[in-house]
Copies of this chain bind each other. A is one copy, B any other.
Amino acid sequence: MTGNNARISHPGFAAKLCTGAQAAAMIEPGDTVGVSGFAGSGHPKVVPIALAERIGQAHDRGEDFQINLLSVATAAELDSALVAVDGIKLRMPYQSVAAMRNQINAGKIGFTDTHLSHVSSQVTAGMFGPLNIAIVEVAAIDPDGTLLPSSSIGISKTWLDQADKIILEVNSAQPDGFRGFHDVYYGPTSPPNLEPIPLTHPKERIGVPYLKCSLDKVIAVVETDIAEQTPDFRPPDADSQKIGNFISEFLAHEVKQGRLPKTLLPLQSGIGNIANAVLAAIDAAGWKGLTAHTELVQDYMLQMLRTGTLAFASSTAFTVSATAQQELFNNLDYYRERVILRPAEVTNHPEVVRRLGCLSMNGLIEADIYGNVNSTHVMGTKMQNGIGGAGDFARNAYITFFTTPSIAKGGAISTIVPMVSHVDHTEHDVHVLVTEQGLADLRGLPPRQRARKIIDVCAHPDYRDALNDYFERASASGAGLHTPHILPEALSWHGRFLESGTMRA
């Protein structure tokens, strides 16, 4: 508790002030808990940690205590604390913390991987049972009882609507200057009553700048004053820069051909270093007045908003390094004119992505010669992070790019394989595949032409002959010549890696 009551301007909410430990004591074993936040921003910082402590104590007493955790927060400290005390039975829809990943792959935690655009609708439809508790961070509670969201919206709107009980964390380390960044759409939430989501441009506002919250459901309000810690991005490496340049050149070509407007279409960019490098390449190539409609405003997007490369960004979260955060907080008035944060259920909605015609760019774990993409399972069995929003964008984008270095683990892994060991994005949804070797434009091509192009253009030279050999033998094997495969051999590269530590023959 900081005692900084200035952020809680409604007496009804103020009356529920308590400590994190007191709030955590209101959560019961077996509860399904929805936690705010998106990719390390806007998550509650005190109650989950206190809950972990409580669970640990219960376990010390020999009592059962686990919860189901619904969250896109993927904040290391949150997931780690709850994992450390074996406090989670089921996790959905996305995570990216090593401790959590390890427990999922050890079979200790059930993980239901879910398209982010489906989270709200599936929880609302009751697919995960009742949502017992929501824990939501906000920047302020206003006199009319509305909530000022903090650095992300994510699924908070749905959690507040659907939860039986609500715990709020009011974080005064989040600037009050976030006021005006948010746009929360409050249309109907379930069929048969759904209506069009009226968003037609990244810059449009279709909702209200606050979250609604029924005071009756609020069981605790906890004050915090804890800044977010996001590690600095590494500068793009040479391979990532090549990938970025290929994409920027391709986009310029499409404009020249009249297939894209001069200011392109709204960019969607996944998380991570390659994504940042692609943005850096676009920033360096002289584009002006572009827009983004994407899940995260990361460091390079802020820079592009400063340079004018980007005129506007529609998003659901700021996920920025400490350095970029300082720049953001120092210039909130500037960015408020150029950024809107929305609920993920709007940002990722197929209706919106399709209508805006996003140019979608996401990473992957491996792709196969026909362009099927695995973005979740390492060697077919181990969950990495989850599909996140990649499927929402890949399926519905105007042009769908997937990017990857052509090799991993110092060359022991070819990211282009005969057959992927798990499929998240089918060939239908993969238009352009890009590695540091080159960009394969697969649009309109049937499978064998895709294979030729992917092998010739994207595969690493060290693996190209082996891929061609597989493809040629598959084509001569008597298998169907639509998508030739030698099934007993299709996954052998993975088997070889698991046995010998390399995919090399």
B196 touches A355 (CB 8 A): yes
Q: Which residues of B contact A125 (CB under 8 A)?
A: 259, 398
Cα–Cα distance between A417 and B110 once the two chains are bound (Å) = 22
At the interface with chain B, which of A6-14, A39-47, A267-275, A375-383? A375-383
B200 touches A195 (CB 8 A): yes
Nearest B-chain residue to A490, judged by Cβ: B491
Contact of A105 among B111, B449, B481 (CB under 8 A): B481
A446 touches B111 (CB 8 A): yes
The number of times this chain is found in the oligomer is 2
Q: A261-B192, A487-B491, A487-B498 are in contact. Are A110 and B448 (CB under 8 A)?
A: yes
B107 touches A475 (CB 8 A): yes
A323 in the interface (beta carbon within 8 A): no
Which residues of A (412-440) have their CB < 8 Å from a CB of B?
Answer: 421-424, 426-428, 431
At the interface with chain B, which of A23-31, A112-120, A330-338, A461-469? A112-120
Cα–Cα distance between A391 and B382 once the two chains are bound (Å) = 26
29 A–B contact pairs at CB < 8 A?
A90-B446, A104-B482, A107-B481, A110-B445, A110-B446, A110-B448, A112-B445, A112-B446, A113-B428, A121-B354, A122-B443, A122-B444, A126-B257, A191-B355, A192-B357, A196-B198, A378-B480, A380-B485, A381-B474, A381-B479, A381-B482, A381-B487, A382-B479, A383-B483, A387-B426, A423-B426, A487-B495, A487-B498, A490-B491
Binary interface profile of A, 454-473, with partner B (CB < 8 Å = 1, else 0)? Answer: 00000000000000000000
B111 touches A380 (CB 8 A): no
Q: Which residues of B contact A444 (CB under 8 A)?
A: 92, 112, 122, 127-129
B265 touches A357 (CB 8 A): no
Binary interface profile of A, 489-505, with partner B (CB < 8 Å = 1, else 0)? Answer: 01110110010000000
**What is the distance, in angstroms, from A488's C-beta to the closest C-beta of chain B?**
5
**What is the distance, in angstroms, from A312's C-beta to the closest C-beta of chain B?**
12
Cα–Cα distance between A428 and B118 once the two chains are bound (Å) = 9
A190 in the interface (beta carbon within 8 A): yes
Q: A107-B448, A380-B483, A383-B480 are in contact. Are A201 and B196 (CB under 8 A)?
A: no
Cα–Cα distance between A355 and B118 once the two chains are bound (Å) = 13
Which residues of A (42-83) have their CB < 8 Å from a CB of B?
Answer: none
Binary interface profile of A, 180-216, with partner B (CB < 8 Å = 1, else 0)? Answer: 0000000000111011111011000000000000000
**What is the distance, in angstroms, from A371's C-beta to the closest C-beta of chain B?**
11
The size bracket of the interface on A is 35 or more
B445 touches A487 (CB 8 A): no
B379 touches A480 (CB 8 A): yes
Q: Which residues of B contact A127 (CB under 8 A)?
A: 431, 443-444
A351 in the interface (beta carbon within 8 A): yes
A106 in the interface (beta carbon within 8 A): yes
Cα–Cα distance between A194 and B293 once the two chains are bound (Å) = 15
Nearest B-chain residue to A197, judged by Cβ: B196
Q: Which residues of B contact A421 (CB under 8 A)?
A: 485, 487
Q: Which residues of B contact A171 (CB under 8 A)?
A: none
A480 touches B111 (CB 8 A): no
Nearest B-chain residue to A199, judged by Cβ: B196
B351 touches A355 (CB 8 A): yes
**What is the distance, in angstroms, from A403's C-beta to the closest C-beta of chain B?**
20
Cα–Cα distance between A191 and B491 once the two chains are bound (Å) = 40
A314 in the interface (beta carbon within 8 A): no
Contact of A482 among B111, B191, B479 (CB under 8 A): B111
Contact of A481 among B106, B129, B350, B480 (CB under 8 A): B106
Binary interface profile of A, 310-344, with partner B (CB < 8 Å = 1, else 0)? Answer: 00000000000000000000000000000000000
A485 touches B381 (CB 8 A): yes
Which residues of A (197-253) have their CB < 8 Å from a CB of B?
Answer: 197-198, 200-201
B350 touches A396 (CB 8 A): yes
Q: Which residues of B contact A424 (CB under 8 A)?
A: 426, 428
A484 in the interface (beta carbon within 8 A): yes
**What is the distance, in angstroms, from A24's C-beta to the closest C-beta of chain B?**
25
Which residues of A (132-190) have their CB < 8 Å from a CB of B?
Answer: 190
